[in-house]
Chains A and B, each alone.
Chain A
Amino acid sequence: MEFLQDLWLLIQYLLAGTGVTLGVTVIALTTGFLVGVLLATGRVYGSPALSAFTAIYSLVIRAVPVIVVIFILYFVIARFVDLSPFLSGSIALGIASSAYQSEVFRGAIISVPQGQMLAARAVGMSRIAAIRYIILPQALRLAIPPWSNEAAIVLKDSSLVYVIGVAEILRRAEYVSARTLEPFLAFGAAALIYFLLTFLTNRGLDWLERRYRLLM
């Protein structure tokens, strides 16, 4: 019984870090989503120069470990702009995620049948309007399953921001582990919280997927 009590106290302590984890994840996913959709659209429909730029962006960012992006943003960029560790960590994760998400959305855009664009143009829509009203609404629906993958990855990568001093779930587990010398208990509790968060996120995305299913 004492073990369960310890575990409960520990989970309560870690829950205080859960808000930070969620904050970082939401900012990173939103930034990644907005930038990722723009990049993917530019990659598929942009001019050759724009397309090449987005391809290089995606290649370079995906080649660099996320933790390096975090260090660069916090120690180099933040020399000129005063960003808090929380913000620069979240944005760094967002930049990293934008590259992965751009590939998710690129795949989704390509998988929308080409005839859709031709038909939209034929009824007099501009290219921009066709992308905005015909292609993207379908592509975003198709992107939900692979996107839920990315969401789970970013949720867990959010623990990396601890290196610049943001005390989220995992760093708090480290505090407990260092104090009590009970790493299994501390990290087990953290794993439990991560599992619940990932589970709930994926259930929510499953619901979205069903709600907005395409009847093709």
Chain B
Amino acid sequence: MKTLRLFTIAIFAAALLLSACGGAGTSQEGYLGEIKERGTLIVGTSADYPPYESVDEAGNFVGFDLDLIREVGKRLGVEVEIKDMAFDALIAAVQEKKVDVVIAAMQTSPEREEKVDFSNPYHFQKDAFLTTADSTLVLTKAMDAAGHSIGVQTGTLQEQWTIDNLVPAGTSEDQVFRYERVDQGALDVKAGRIEILFINADPAGELAEKEGLKVALVTDETVVGGQCIAMPQGETQLKAEIDRILGEMESEGLIQKLQDQWGIP
């Protein structure tokens, strides 16, 4: 019994010590100071979305977003550590400061802005509607998709846009299919279970080619905000510094260079 009690005390002591460590290191620069003191910027991403973020054959995290954030880290003077997790968990991870920032081709939206702060946009993307190659469906504008079964990736703005716009216009809730990853949705289009897959335009071309689908429409009508880096709320110094660095990279043409390198329009 005695050893058990000692063990319990030890656990509590360890817990206290650890939480005390977590609270230390606040300086004038706030969270930014903490990151600099630590010497590491912990970056959350969801590495299943090439060309933005993926894992190469050697097991390295690669992609446009990750090259960009590594450059940001370099200019902050810190190492960059990538933490991969499910896209749905990323916002919570920033809120709980499990990661310092998130870069995951994530766009701003009012719902997300209630929970985290965003940097200035570093890239504006378009959305794409995919159908089977022999589909008779004619899509000239995004709203033409109303009334047809449609697949989206869970937790994305395409999902939100579908709920906000297509559902009131005649698509029933049962016709909206949500997938963990876009390639699963592509398989269901191919199999004829859904008529349309609605995703970010950048991976759409490669995906369509691979699965023998057709990119029926590429549009920016559905895009509400640019892709931004997410960070904890109220950390103004951190946001200012990241925005400054992004501006610097933009004016040096570095972001365009990275886009070209990764084949992102």
Chain A positions within 8 Å of B, measured between CB atoms, are 13, 16, 71, 74-75, 78-82, 85, 162-165, 167, 171-172, 174-175, 177-179, 181, 183
- Given A81-B15, A174-B48, check contact A183 B98 (CB 8 Å): no
The distance in angstroms between the C-alpha atoms of A80 and B50, with both chains bound, is: 35
> Is A81 in contact with B181, judged by CB distance below 8 angstroms?
no
Verify if B18 is at the interface (C-beta below 8 Å from A).
yes
Output the least CB separation between A58 and chain B (Å).
23
Verify if B86 is at the interface (C-beta below 8 Å from A).
yes
Verify if B200 is at the interface (C-beta below 8 Å from A).
no
Output the least CB separation between A18 and chain B (Å).
14
- Given A162-B86, A163-B89, check contact A82 B55 (CB 8 Å): no
> Is A163 in contact with B206, judged by CB distance below 8 angstroms?
no
Output the least CB separation between B104 and chain A (Å).
12
- Given A75-B96, A164-B89, check contact A179 B56 (CB 8 Å): yes
Give the residues from 201 to 255 in chain B that come closer than 8 angstroms, CB to CB, to chain A: 206-207, 210-211
- Given A75-B92, A162-B86, A167-B84, check contact A179 B55 (CB 8 Å): yes
> Is A178 in contact with B50, judged by CB distance below 8 angstroms?
yes
Verify if B110 is at the interface (C-beta below 8 Å from A).
no
> Is B98 in contact with A75, judged by CB distance below 8 angstroms?
yes
- Given A178-B181, A179-B55, check contact A81 B19 (CB 8 Å): yes
Q: Which A-chain residue is minimally distant from B95 (CB atoms)?
A: A75
Hey, which chain A residues are within 8 Å of B57, CB to CB? 13, 179
- Given A81-B15, A174-B48, A181-B206, check contact A71 B187 (CB 8 Å): no
A-B contact pairs, 13 of them (CB 8 A): A75-B96, A81-B18, A81-B19, A164-B86, A165-B44, A165-B93, A175-B48, A178-B47, A178-B48, A178-B183, A179-B54, A181-B211, A183-B184
Give the residues from 164 to 212 in chain B that come closer than 8 angstroms, CB to CB, to chain A: 181, 183-184, 187, 206-207, 210-211
Hey, which chain B residues are within 8 Å of A178, CB to CB? 47-50, 54-55, 181, 183
Hey, which chain A residues are within 8 Å of B50, CB to CB? 178-179
Hey, which chain B residues are within 8 Å of A81, CB to CB? 15, 18-19
Hey, which chain B residues are within 8 Å of A162, CB to CB? 85-86
The distance in angstroms between the C-alpha atoms of A74 and B95, with both chains bound, is: 12
Chain B positions within 8 Å of A, measured between CB atoms, are 15, 18-19, 21-22, 44, 47-50, 54-57, 59, 83-86, 88-89, 92-93, 95-96, 98, 181, 183-184, 187, 206-207, 210-211
- Given A175-B47, A177-B181, A183-B184, check contact A79 B86 (CB 8 Å): no
Q: Which B-chain residue is minimally distant from A175 (CB atoms)?
A: B55
Output the least CB separation between A68 and chain B (Å).
12
> Is A165 in contact with B18, judged by CB distance below 8 angstroms?
no
The 5 A-B pairs at the shortest CB distance, nearest first, are namely A165-B85, A178-B48, A175-B55, A163-B86, A82-B18
The distance in angstroms between the C-alpha atoms of A16 and B83, with both chains bound, is: 17
List 7 additional contacts besides A75-B96, A85-B85, A162-B86; criterion CB under 8 Å.
Answer: A75-B92, A165-B83, A172-B55, A178-B48, A181-B211, A183-B183, A183-B187
- Given A75-B98, A175-B55, A178-B183, check contact A82 B19 (CB 8 Å): yes
Task: Count chain A CB atoms within 10 A of each CB in B21, B56, B85, B96 and give the residue with the most.
Answer: B85
The distance in angstroms between the C-alpha atoms of A13 and B57, with both chains bound, is: 8
Partner of B85, one of A13, A79, A163, A177: A163
